[in-house]
Amino acid sequence: MSNATRQFTEKRLVIASHNPGKVREIGELLSPWQIEAVSASELNLPEPEETGDSFVANAKLKADAAALGANLPALADDSGLAVDALDGAPGIYSARWGGEAKDFDAAMARVNTEIGDNPDRRARFVCALALTWPDGHSEVFEGDVRGALVWPPRGAKGFGYDPMFLADGDTGTYGEIDPAQKHENSHRAVAFRALIDACFPPVS
């Protein structure tokens, strides 16, 4: 990656995800720039196998595959829950803890079971964003938010592990608070602000 970040000037962008919640959230974050966001599933792009050993590696892998497959710039997110008491697990395997069906009710239950009686409920949500152009150039950004895990899960407004994550300073889990509030302070929002500051023009 060069020292100078590349500016995004196109009007169409592939969101390299088949997760409708994630696609919706990223689309909402992009709305001020009037960019047409199209998901990988809408373009029938296959989901590449996530073989990277970090959130950054997996985000770049997905963005690279979508940009090449669609011949359009592509934005990919790789994010997950890192639990202190579980030495950072499930981490990059967060979605896989839900099994083939990506059942996050089951994944949350597994996290809670594995923590067991450990009083340390601290955790963080981590997000890596990769923006790749069809010529292979990429820009990558990271963000994270600290918090604690609650049980049982609360709220139905979020997705994934949101209902069991209570961010520091919030009064409700990511499943309970208004999506606009989540967009202000989530791990994805932190990474997204870094991306916007580096690659997108100010919105007038």
Residues labelled catalytic: 78
**CB-neighbour burial class of residue 53 (10 A; exposed 0-12, middle 13-18, buried 19+):** exposed
Q: Report residue 189: phi and psi, to 5°.
A: -65, -40
Alpha helices in the chain (DSSP H): 20-30, 55-70, 104-115, 179-185, 187-199
Helix (H) or strand (E) segment spanning residue 132: strand 122-132
The two three-digit tokens of residue 70, written as one number: 């669609």
Residue 144: which of 181, 113, 190, 180 has the closest Cα?
190
- Counting Cα atoms < 13 Å in the Cβ hemisphere of 101 gives 5
Pairing of strands 36-39, 138-149: unpaired
What are the φ and ψ backbone dihedral angles of 140, each rounded to 5 degrees? Answer: -130, 140
Nearest to 133 by CA among 59, 73, 64: 73
